[in-house]
């Protein structure tokens, strides 16, 4: 079964530092996404990426955030100058279309 791979599984960072979360989507998928989930809350959309560019972003995805597809396989989320409220589980996902996302196992980000 193809998987979406995320690294690291856990990341602790100091407030104000930059973090990069990494993802390897499923190779024949065309759409890539980042979501976050604050503990005990729902899964929130951050950004979608298609054809090497951002196709949509939420109001959460402000100038502090950026995404890149630096090569044919990796998909990264960068958070500049992290804040305490950025602590959450970050999920990468990919899909071929609307037939269902495959999510990675997530990166638990803790900002201290």
- Which residues sit at the interface with another protein, rule CB under 8 A? 31, 33, 41-45, 48, 50, 55-56, 91, 95, 97-106
List the one residue out of 101, 88, 83, 106 whose CA is nearest residue 22: 106
**18/56 with CB nearer another protein:** 56
Beta strands in 52-97 (DSSP E): 53-57, 65-68, 75-79, 88-95
**14/59 with CB nearer another protein:** 59
Least CB distance from residue 31 to another protein, whole Å?
Answer: 5
Contact, 83 vs 10, CB < 8 A?
A: no
Least CB distance from residue 70 to another protein, whole Å?
Answer: 22
| Cα three-residue angle 56-61-65, rounded to 5 degrees | 115
Least CB distance from residue 41 to another protein, whole Å?
Answer: 8
């Amino acid at each position: 079964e193809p998987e979406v791979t995320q690294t690291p599984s856990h990341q602790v960072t100091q407030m104000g530092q930059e973090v990069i979360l990494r993802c390897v989507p499923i190779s024949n998928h065309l759409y890539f996404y980042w979501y976050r989930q604050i503990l005990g809350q729902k899964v929130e959309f951050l950004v979608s990426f298609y054809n090497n560019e951002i196709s949509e972003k939420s109001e959460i995805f402000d100038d502090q955030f950026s995404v890149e597809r630096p090569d044919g396989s990796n998909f990264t989320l960068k958070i500049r100058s992290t804040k305490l409220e950025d602590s959450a589980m970050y999920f990468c996902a990919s899909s071929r279309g609307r037939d269902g996302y495959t999510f990675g196992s997530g990166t638990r980000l803790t900002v201290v």
